[in-house]
Amino acid sequence: MKNIQKIQLGHHGPQVSKLGLGCMRMSSVWGGPTPDQNESIATIQQALDNGINFLNTGDFYGAGHNEMLVGKAIKGRRDDAFISVKFGAIFHNGQWLGLDLRPIAIKNFINYSLTRLGIDTIDLYQPCRMDNSVPVADIIGTVAELIKEGKVRYLGVSEITTDQLREANSVYPVSALEIGYSLADRQIENDLLPVAKELGIAIVTFANTAEGLLTGEMKAPLAETDYHTHFSRFQGDNLVRNLEKVEVLKQLARDKGFTPAQIAIAWVNAQGPDFMPLVSMSKRSRLPENMAAMDIAFTADEMYTLNTTFAPGAILGETYLRR
């Protein structure tokens, strides 16, 4: 078993793996095909074998399919896994309808999640994002009640503003903040990250390769059918100029003997001991490269090159990660 790095979730939270396994892509969320279930289960189990115990899922990933998949993978080895579950999103026929964060809904959601996962307690439970339909205090207060009941161990939040984060933490201590963050999406450095650090909240980052932009595999122009074309970041001159910056990343990766995606993950990991890259995988073949990314170190010059090339605002155009 590889000696994986650890991160502490919050001031009084548990030690978990500093590399998180995102399980979303193991299910059909937006109506696409479902990956091979046996391979997905094997991927989770091999991750656990290698000390990656932070498993991230959502009750709306594949209408419960993802939770059932995770449940099968951890059967007989519950103590090896730390289960993070997002709730609150409502889908129908693969289409996003909105959120339901009412206390009565949350108390309903969790019982289905526990049943699908085949466990008695969810380690980290978090609203997938906030809206203005339900007061933050009511949402967080309901999760606090579930913690007192023993159905949840720790509170997490996701896609949240600084004011909402402060309010949530005042109701009950927040252990982890899940948020999109990468070299190409650094807006949260101005406000949200300082508040999270002030409050001692761990940062769980998804979209570390900026929806594929930082993999080095994207070429302009994209096919008209590519979903990326819905966002101006991936359109016309914006994409051309953004990919010019990615060339710097690709050259640095070549010089160090890694892939651009590994460098992107390593940059997030290097932001501090309170950052966890959450990487989506559905194949065992992806595990070695993503684990290797966690051991990449940068010289001061390399970090300067990355931080100046991808300074906040350097990537042109909008994406759903814009806040």
CA atoms of 131 and 145, how far apart (whole Å): 20
Q: Catalytic residue at 112?
A: no
The residues pairing with 276 across neighbouring beta strands, listed in sequence order, are 204
Q: Which of 61, 125, 172, 181 is catalytic?
A: 61
Contact 317, 234 (CB under 8 A): yes
CA atoms of 114 and 69, how far apart (whole Å): 13
Best CA proximity match to 176, nearest among 122, 212, 138, 132: 122
Best CA proximity match to 150, nearest among 127, 122, 172, 117: 122
> Where does residue 191 rank: exposed (0-12), middle (13-18), buried (19+ CB within 10 A)?
middle
CA atoms of 206 and 218, how far apart (whole Å): 19
Active-site residues: which are they? 61
